[in-house]
Amino acid sequence: MSEDTLAKILRQNGCEFPHEDALREKKHGIWTTWTWAQYADAVKELALGLAAMGFERGDKLAVIGDNRPRLYMAMMAAQSLGGISVAVYQDAIAKELGFVLAHAEVRYIVAEDEEQIDKLYEIKDRLGYVDKVIYDDPRGLQLREDPWLVHLPEVEEQGREYGKNNARYFETQLSKGNGEDVCVFCYTSGTTGNPKGVMLTNDNLLSTIRETMKAEDLRTGDELIAYLPMAWVGDYWLSVGAAITIRMTVNCPENRDTLQRDYREIGPTIVVAPPAAWEGTLTRIQVRMDEADWLKRALFNTFMEVALKVERMRQRGAAIPAGLALRNCLGEWLVRRPLRDLLGMTRVRRAYTGGAPLGPDVFDYLRAVGLNLKQFYGMTESCSACVYQPEGEANSETVGRALDITQVKISEAGEILLRGPNIFAGYHKNEEATRNTIDADGWMASGDAGFVDDRGHIRVIDRAKDVSKLADGTLFAPQFLENKLKFSPYIKEAVIFGKELDYVAAMINIDLDAMENWAERKGVAYTGYQDLSQKAAVHDLVRGEVERINAGLAQDSELAGTQIQRFLVLNKELDADDGEITRTRKIRRNVISERYGALIEALYSDADRVETDIVVTYEDGRSGQIHADLRVMSVAAASVPARAA
């Protein structure tokens, strides 16, 4: 059988490498393992069960829940029969679920548990295409007698019976698949509107996976932790596509609360995470050091300063003096290696960030800790990563070189264009958007502004639509400044304003975990997020962080004019349920501008306070308002050195 589909490769793995570990899941503190043979057989059983219920070639099956082996198996079962799998964000509210499931015309849904089933019942009247909802975990479920619902073991039992009477059915359907088949819909973040259904073929996936395997030395037996949303193309590419193609072992943690412990138990060799996760890792390190005694803190700060200096010299290609190299080696054994062990990352060979830009400060710091962190660049439409940083060429200012299968050029308007076999087949039911994204010659518009430097590395400036100028003509890239702010352990999110305005201003979310530790050490009493965020001491702390960032910007002649002059601390976190950010934590700037118009006006006035009512969405889907009386702070610009002026 040819290796032109993921489903065929999985079946082949089960036959040729039956005893190698493929999947693990932690339940009640115990890890359960599936070998490749068990994985492949479970997929066959489930596929036959779906066939018994009427699943046909071209049908769509959705999965909703945390990373679970049976949900991954369900996706592969659908693809084995020539169907299309669709993963939906597990924390999506019912309205968001309804749009994706209806737009994709899903016929079958595999839901993890009661929480997901409850959301489906809220929107059942919108799910006319759905024939059956299959549930995995029955705990707490009160609707098991509804014929719309079926327990997953029952589907597997139907599969066993169907297989007895249709001995060759599975193999026949599997053999009909080919590389041109669309096998998965991955929905975009939807930063400017409803998400679009990106249609990816087997050829799209396998071309980029095989090329990345060669470029990045991904190996059979590499260990992964699957905790990122299954709906994110990065998780599908890694935990399904690459894991099956390369035969890597996927480990599904019990829940997010056990994730740190699970990292230490498994010792992953490959880690892929979006910027928000890496920013969280940095915050944990900084908070832990703030809580340490003075000696540990002094050792850490001393040797991290050395490591940062060495890392930045390496990125510039500068020679490292012997004395500095010796101190750095000492710091590795005294500080950094124990820290990586604490994080469960001692065995990590490759660590990647992608999905959005990671701030240069965060990138440099984590590499200085000793993680071989590198940037990937790509998007859902390019089948995840298509640009990588070769070993020895990791750099905080670039995203690296294009894979050999991917062509790159910069348009006259400065937008990055991509072409290759990894480029998606089109948007589901949206031919106009497809034509606007891929031109007649096959070049796909990325939506990012950037350029190719002298080394052949791609530099991404910002989203093309967000790059603009201040009123005085100063170049303004908000995402760059937002990443600068998020390097602070006390700032979780930031939204920067300034397009065609007189100066740069910011709306800031505090990081609750880091700020709670700080408040405890400083004896600051508070009742919750809203109260703590509006404490005068917190505002002074954030002002100090902004001043520190301004001082760094002042050293660069091109950035000195974009120093932050006004800011306010929002009394609620930006929330995907409120539509303010996407499920992958990308800012929806149009929503922010509309919802917080009064706050933005205050930032560009002489007001020192602003009152407003802010809409919030509760976990049960109800909405309400909270009244806000926010303080608007001014920050003096740092003086610009003569050499930077």
**Six-digit token string for 407:** 């062509």
Tell me how far CA of residue 385 lies from CA of 72, 197, 352, in angstroms.
Answer: 21, 18, 10
CATH fold label, 6-269: Rossmann fold (3.40.50)
- Residue pair 398/375 in contact (Cβ under 8 Å)? The answer is yes
How large is the average pLDDT for residues 106-128?
94
H or E segment to which residue 424 belongs:
none
Structure tokens at 218: 């991904």
CA separation for the pair 155, 49 (Å, rounded):
5
* pLDDT at site 291: 84
Q: What pLDDT score was predicted for residue 192? A: 67
In angstroms, the CA 148 to CA 433 distance is 35
CATH class of 273-346+348-463: alpha beta
Region(s) of the chain under CATH 3.40.50.12780: 6-269, 273-346+348-463
Superfamily of domain 468-634: ANL, C-terminal domain (3.30.300.30)
Q: What is the 3-class SS of 546-588, one letter each residue?
A: HHHHHHHHCCCCCCHHHCEEEEEECCCCCCHHHCCECCCCCEC
- What Rg, from alpha-carbon coordinates, does the chain have? 25
Q: How do strand 197-201 and strand 182-187 relate by DSSP bridges?
A: antiparallel
pLDDT at position 619: 61
Q: Give alpha helix (H) positions in 292-390.
A: 294-316, 322-331, 337-343, 360-369
> 455: which residues sit within 8 A by CB, 6+ positions away?
393, 398
Q: Say yes or no to pLDDT of 579 above 90.
A: no
| Average pLDDT of the segment spanning 334-347 | 94
Q: Residues 571-587: what's their mean pLDDT?
A: 88
Contact 71, 61 (CB under 8 A): no
| CA quadruple 600, 601, 603, 608: dihedral sign | negative
In the prediction, which pLDDT does 585 show?
83
Q: How many CB atoms lie within 10 A of CB 169?
A: 16
Quick one: pLDDT band at residue 144, thresholds 50, 70, 90? Answer: low
Which of 57-61, 77-81, 593-597 is predicted with the least confidence, judged by mean pLDDT?
593-597
What is the band of 487 on the pLDDT scale with cuts at 50, 70, 90? confident
Tokens of 527: 């009742």
Please give the biggest Cα pair distance in the chain. Answer: 84
Distance CA 559, CA 553 (A): 5
As a whole number, mean pLDDT of residues 211-217 equals 92
Task: Please tell me the number of Cα atoms within 13 Å of 327 on its side-chain side.
Answer: 16
CB 210 within 8 A of CB 406: no
Distance CA 506, CA 503 (A): 10
pLDDT confidence of residue 643: 55
Q: Of 185, 217, 203, 171, give the one whose Cα is nearest residue 6.
A: 203
C-beta separation of 538 from 515 below 8 A? yes
- Span 311-326, average pLDDT: 94
What pLDDT does residue 620 have? 60
> Which conformational region is residue 585 in: left (phi greater than 0), alpha (psi within -120 to 50 degrees), or beta?
left
Specify the amino acid at residue 77: A
Residues 6+ apart with CB under 8 A from 216: 350, 388
pTM: 0.89
Please give the single-letter amino acid code of residue 100.
Answer: V
- Banded pLDDT at 584 (limits 50, 70, 90): confident
> How sure is the predictor about 642, in pLDDT bands with cuts at 50, 70 and 90?
low
Q: 153-159 long-range contacts, Cβ below 8 Å, gap at least 24?
A: 154/49, 155/46, 155/49, 155/50, 155/52, 155/53, 156/42, 156/45, 156/46, 156/49, 157/49, 158/48, 158/49, 158/52, 158/53, 159/44, 159/45, 159/46, 159/47, 159/48, 159/49, 159/50, 159/51, 159/52
pLDDT of residue 427: 97
Q: What backbone phi and psi angles, to 5 degrees, belong to 612?
A: -160, 160
pLDDT of res. 538: 96
From-to residues of CATH 3.30.300.30 in the chain: 468-634
- pLDDT of 43 over the 80 cut: yes
Q: What is the pLDDT of residue 1?
A: 60
Q: What is the mean pLDDT of the chain?
A: 93
Nearest to 569 by CA among 544, 605, 594: 544
Return the higher-pLDDT residue of 95 and 444.
444
Give the number of other CB atoms < 10 A from CB of residue 585. 18
pLDDT at 618: 67
* C-alpha separations of 469 from 91, 329, 503, 534, 586 in Å: 36, 44, 10, 31, 21
Q: Given strand 504-510, what is the order of strands in its sheet?
A: 491-497, 504-510, 564-569, 623-634, 609-617
CA distance 300 to 624: 45
d(CA 495, CA 498): 10
pLDDT tens digits, one per residue of 150-173? 999 999 999 999 999 999 999 999
Choose between 291 and 242: higher pLDDT: 242
